[in-house]
Structure 1
Amino acid sequence: MSIIRVVFLSNWQLHNPYQKLLAEQLISQGCQVEIYYCDLIFLPFFMKFWQPTILHIHTLHPFLVSKHKFYQPLKTFVFLIQILILKILQIKIVWTVHEWNDKMAGGKYSLNQTHIFIIDKFLDALITHSNFTKLELAKSFENLVNKNKLFVVSHANYIDYYPNQINQQEARKNLGIPAKTFVFLLFGNIYPYKGFIQAIEAFQALPPDNIYLLIAGKPVDQNIAILIENKIKNSENISFSPKFIANDQVQLYFNASDCAIMPYQVFTTSGIALLAMSFGRVCIAPKIGHFSEILDQYGAFLYDPNANDGLLQSMKFAIDNQYHILDMGKHNFTIAQQWNWHLMAQQTLKIYTENL
């Protein structure tokens, strides 16, 4: 069998470990993999060094949509020309759908019917990390002749990727959190769609005794950072670290916490849930989509996203059941162990070799 040569394409920043970990495992299984970061022109890099056989796209929206309405048709055209050239060269094109629904601003960055036509016509495989998203895609591509080009690949865990030597007592001491406190965590890059503001308001509606809220992550802009700072300025039991959290510091926040909150209002896949499970932490999340497929009642407090007080009630329930938190976290860790990068690479390689 000839060597499979793959280019991973995205506009992700270099600190996102997803592509790196998947690429390493694909390489260990005989593939050649290059990773390229951009959001417009990728064809010169793709053809530069060797003869690749597969373009694997991890972020598609940046190549097709723009906040500037006059720029968007140009981006779409440039992307289409590059894709057409690849198709003439008989290159296979795969997209892992990390983002599907518009997250940013009321449909401003959503894929339109032209984009869906391009995806439908010229992409050879679409990979999702949940059956829920696969069904969403099947509905969106209602005219798709070959439904067999939709695949589900399990998102792998982050066990052993981030340092994890510090215990809860040391982590709390380092962060200045009282030892005998029930600690909630909001972690990750901060966007409006992630529901951080709603989670802060729910936390502030709880009885304030012996509870604490950690917020850690880089805000998407100064506006949301200021909004959070104003929300918490009178709450002594909330701390906010508005910055990128370095790899060796991630363990501080997860190990200091009892329960990680993911109050997302729009989402496709949640790497944060896998990260929390990798640290043996209990999760609070809406009972829908990817969350409902990887989390269960033994390791999470799931709530109805349509209920006005669903998040608040889940947080109350977590506090009321805090003596079970340790066992619930162990359950999550055990579940997460089955989703490793070797398995994920095997599933991806099978798509490359048997379905393209």
Structure 2
Amino acid sequence: MKKVLMMYDIKVKHEYFILLLGELLKEKANIFLYKKYRSSFPIFLNVLRLKGCKIIHFHFIHNLAGFHTKFKLKFLLKSIIFLIDIYLVKYILQTKIIWTVNNLLSHELFFPRLEKFIRSHFAKKTDIIITHCNRVKKIVQKELKIPQDKIYMIPHGNYLKGYKNEISKEKARELLSLGENQLVILHFGYIRQYKRIDNLIDNFLRLKNDGNIKLLIVGKAFNKIGEFLIKKSKGDNNIIFSFRHIPTYDVQIYMNASDIIVTSYNRILTSGTVILATSFGKPVIAPRLGCIPELLNENSAFLYNPQEKNGLLKALQKAIDSKGKLKDLGQNNLKSIRKFDWNTIARSTKKIYERFFN
């Protein structure tokens, strides 16, 4: 099979890529990983390095396109170089471009109109776009203004094999100094502004709480947002913070100690946190955004409209009132997520590659 350049830096450990790559290699896909170059046009140089490379598969493009910088001149320069790089590989080297769209816009959004323009222009130069659900397929088509027949749906795989799951609920709570009979609500993952954790804290503080309902907010905090959230919590002892990177092995401790996982995004396409929660057999509180309504329903989650003033508060209260049903709801999630195995996803991805090899 001819060569495919996967735009993924192996030094950045990401379970999504590790699981996808592992199954693609089992399927005999000829995958090569992106190598960093300290020069202009790194994508072009990567394709030149891999003689016979016919496909580039992009996932997250924010670093390559310069979206991570808050300096406008640097942003423009990086974005222009990125687009020239795309033109070089597409029209000079005749390389096919595939893009799996995980985000419509960057999490830390500095120049929305410029970024949307760059992403839309890049989308028009791709040969195939992959989304993780049909709902997002329609969103991407509308927002990026691309034809529907160019977009394919391949779901995001589960994390059943991505993380250890051998610590009991009792042991996990002992390690975190949590009580056996407490109701534990967990917000897990990077602490970023778009996740609206401030709104989650505001709503949690409005709940009637005798001290037996705990909110855990766990993950590495960005841009001093941790300090802001601590102030928001007003010293409430029922809100417990752990602003640090959680090693892969320790993910199970927080997941298994919790009764329910909460997300409070104001925008999202694919939520890795929701997929992680379902892979640990946990029910979820989440907004009806992106792929979430296709993954979850009333038998496995407490979904809310993020535009509704008290939507999150009502979902939190409903989850608390349904304490006796939470385990069953989590088991429903576990059953549903099993079908999204990585081997099936890898085979679907390989079929898309083969379209350009025949």
**Which sits farther off after the overlay, 233-242 or 278-287?**
233-242
Aligned mates of 2:70, 2:134 — CA distance in 1: 30
The one of 99, 102, 105 aligned to 1:98: 102
Question: Partner of 1:190: helix, strand, or coil?
Answer: coil
Question: Do residues 19 (structure 1) and 28 (structure 2) align?
Answer: no
Partner of 1:125: 128
Write the letter of the residue equivalent to 1:220: F
Aligned mates of 1:187, 1:37 — CA distance in 2: 31
Write the letter of the residue equivalent to 1:58: H
Question: Partner of 2:34: helix, strand, or coil?
Answer: strand
Identity among equivalent positions (%) equals: 32
**Which sits farther off after the overlay, 169-178 or 12-21?**
12-21
Aligned mates of 2:327, 2:13 — CA distance in 1: 30
Map 1:296-307 onto structure 2 (within 5 A): 296-307=297-308
Equivalent residue pairs, number:
350
Shift of 1:116: 1.8
Shift of 1:187: 0.3
**Which sits farther off after the overlay, 224-233 or 175-184?**
224-233
Q: Deviations over 1:240-284 (max 9, x none)?
A: 110110011000101000110011111111011000000000000
Change (3 A) 1:109 1:63: farther
Map 1:210-229 onto structure 2 (within 5 A): 210-221=212-223, 223-229=224-230
Write the letter of the residue equivalent to 1:98: N
Aligned mates of 1:117, 1:248 — CA distance in 2: 40
Map 1:1-356 onto structure 2 (within 5 A): 3-10=1-8, 14-36=12-34, 41-64=42-65, 65=67, 66-87=69-90, 88-105=92-109, 107-108=111-112, 111-120=115-124, 122-142=125-145, 144=146, 146-209=147-210, 210-221=212-223, 223-232=224-233, 234-354=235-355
Write the letter of the residue equivalent to 1:315: L
Gaps of 5+ in 1: none
Aligned mates of 2:114, 2:179 — CA distance in 1: 44
Aligned mates of 1:32, 1:355 — CA distance in 2: 13
Tell whether the 8 Å contact from 1:6 to 1:56 is kept in structure 2 after alignment. Answer: yes
Write the letter of the residue equivalent to 1:229: I
- Cα RMSD for the two superposed structures: 2.1
Aligned mates of 1:346, 1:215 — CA distance in 2: 37
Tell whether the 8 Å contact from 1:10 to 1:38 is kept in structure 2 after alignment. Answer: no
Gaps of 5+ in 2: none
Question: Partner of 1:266: helix, strand, or coil?
Answer: coil
Question: Partner of 1:83: helix, strand, or coil?
Answer: helix
Moved over 4 A (4+): 10-13, 37-40
Aligned mates of 2:231, 2:73 — CA distance in 1: 36
Change (3 A) 1:53 1:200: same
Aligned mates of 1:286, 1:355 — CA distance in 2: 38
Tell whether the 8 Å contact from 2:216 to 2:241 is kept in structure 1 after alignment. Answer: yes
Tell whether the 8 Å contact from 2:57 to 2:100 is kept in structure 1 after alignment. Answer: yes
Question: Partner of 1:53: helix, strand, or coil?
Answer: strand
